[in-house]
A and B are shown apart, each in its own frame.
Chain A
């Protein structure tokens, strides 16, 4: 990866989860909470419909940061996120980030995941070895 400096933007990751993504993520992760996979249940508890798993969106934040090291699974040392909004299937998610600090080969990236104006993950901090 080319040199990263404080203030640099990382390449954006754009993903539009399809209607059945939450079912596949439930199977992959083991989290079958019905708010993610059952439209009737979701509506009964006041949601507009099934919502994305927060940890799925965190997975995309991890993917966008690991991409700084060509997807090397050893590169991501730490990732801390706050879940602040509900994500919906069939809507584009944009993961963007800005380099906050650089220490040798290690960068800390301030990352956000958003659907339009709705920031579903904020104040995410990723520590990535890019050397």
Chain B
């Protein structure tokens, strides 16, 4: 097979992301989400959150910086020109709120080849300042013509 598999199991240094109220609002707005818990501190607290809370898919915003170095690592050796995002999974734990400091680690779970395509699977684990899991992500990237 012509994909390199040396990077399976490799882990990359953690990235940290401080969640901001206006960034949450910007993200919610672009998805057309109108629940005031994403914009208004009073509404968020009344609903039982510590502060303005992020929509679940905000996980992309705080997790992506951890995936970047993994994707660009020469040990992984992906051809970006032929890469597509094949699949994505998130499992959520504690909600992410404004003021949280989220630390995300990335790991290569698997690299394989099938029908001339390379399948690269990365896992991210994002935890907040209290050590609680916020989101676990599984990122499947497909490279054509390997």
Interface residue ranges, A against B (CB under 8 Å) = 15, 21, 24-25, 27-31, 45, 54-56, 58-60, 62-63, 66, 70-74, 76-83
Partner of A29, one of B60, B86, B89, B91: B60
Which one of B27, B47, B53, B92 has the highest number of Cβ atoms from chain A below 10 Å of its Cβ? Answer: B92
Interface residue ranges, B against A (CB under 8 Å) = 23, 26-27, 29-35, 37-38, 47, 53-57, 60-61, 64-65, 81, 84-92, 95, 138
CB within 8 Å for A30 and B85 given contacts A25-B30, A59-B55, A73-B35: no
Top 9 nearest A-B pairs by Cβ distance?
Answer: A80-B89, A71-B35, A59-B57, A28-B30, A59-B31, A82-B87, A78-B91, A28-B27, A76-B56
Collect the chain B residues with CB atoms within 8 Å of residue A60's CB: 31-32
Please name 11 pairs of A and B residues whose Cβ atoms are closer than 8 Å in the assembled complex, sorted by A.
Answer: A21-B30, A24-B30, A28-B29, A30-B64, A56-B31, A58-B57, A62-B31, A63-B33, A79-B57, A80-B138, A82-B86
Q: Are A62 and B55 in contact (CB under 8 A)?
A: yes
Q: Kindly state the separation between the CA atoms of A77 and B136 in the bound complex, as whole angstroms.
A: 11
Collect the chain A residues with CB atoms within 8 Å of residue B89's CB: 78-81
CB within 8 Å for A54 and B85 given contacts A73-B38, A73-B54, A73-B55: yes
Which one of B32, B37, B53 has the highest number of Cβ atoms from chain A below 10 Å of its Cβ? Answer: B32
Known pairs A28-B26, A31-B64. 9 more at Cβ < 8 A? A29-B60, A54-B85, A55-B85, A56-B31, A59-B31, A62-B31, A71-B33, A78-B90, A83-B87
Q: Kindly state the separation between the CA atoms of A55 and B64 in the bound complex, as whole angstroms.
A: 11
Which one of B81, B85, B91 has the highest number of Cβ atoms from chain A below 10 Å of its Cβ? Answer: B85
Q: Kindly state the separation between the CA atoms of A30 and B68 in the bound complex, as whole angstroms.
A: 11
Collect the chain A residues with CB atoms within 8 Å of residue B38's CB: 73
Q: Are B26 and A58 in contact (CB under 8 A)?
A: no
